[in-house]
Amino acid sequence: MIRFENLSYSYPNKTGGLRDINLTIEKGSFVCIYAPSAEFKTTLLNLIYGEVLPSSGKLYVLDYTFPEDRKKISRLRKKIGYAFHPFCFFDDLTVRKNLIVNLLIKQTERHLKHIESIVDETIQSLTKLNPLELVKNLSYSEKQILNIVRALIGDPLVLLLDDPFKHLDKEEIEKWMKLFVEKSRSGITVVATVSNPAIPQLYGIKAFFMKKGRLLEEDEK
């Protein structure tokens, strides 16, 4: 469960930010947040991920409360899969090694062979990526797919997806949306930001609109 309680966030040297956010996202629900760019959608996800801390108010993510639990951020991150925007990869490593590193950090599994087999299986079942290709040689859409796969791998409890459909074609969007819906049904909480409001509408997903740092429900828009 994720709960924002009168939460505000302002950037140290910037005007604007999030204002008075009150939102509860239940376990296993799928929520979309959409807005044009520069409306702090990423900031909202970064708050859930502990990358930034609230300026005021409270944020409850799984068993952690922020800002109090700021020293437990790395523990929280092990339970969250995050498709970053912009991408954050080890560009000089292969697709496979990027995923292995992610799993080694997130899991306590010690047998490298077992981790490698999970990675190989995931790449094969979900993508057409060449596991031995260096990330720096991938196209934008391939990087986006790797970004999503990295967030999914390792059975996270929360899935944060920052503009996950950018650079993807219609077919790919449909494939991944189906998978995210499946994941939420299996109990994973999914929070995605999108620039295109048609996507949540099309899949009947609860959506919020961000305007001037405030979070509005569809009908308040």
The Cα 44–Cα 40 span in angstroms is 6
Sign of CA dihedral 113, 98, 142, 167: positive
The Cα 106–Cα 160 span in angstroms is 15
Q: Which is nearer to other proteins, 35 or 159 (CB)?
A: 159
* Nearest distance from C-beta of residue 158 to other proteins, angstroms: 12
Which part of the chain contacts other proteins (CB under 8 A), choosing from 33-41, 109-117, 163-171, 213-221?
109-117
The Cα 37–Cα 210 span in angstroms is 10
Q: Which is nearer to other proteins, 79 or 166 (CB)?
A: 79
Site string for other proteins, 110-139 (x = CB under 8 A): x-x---------------------------
| Residues from 39 through 78 that contact other proteins (CB under 8 A) | 51, 74-78
Binding of other proteins at residue 33 (CB under 8 A)? no
71: amino acid identity, one letter: K
* Nearest distance from C-beta of residue 139 to other proteins, angstroms: 21
List the Cα angle 144/149/28 in 5-degree steps.
115
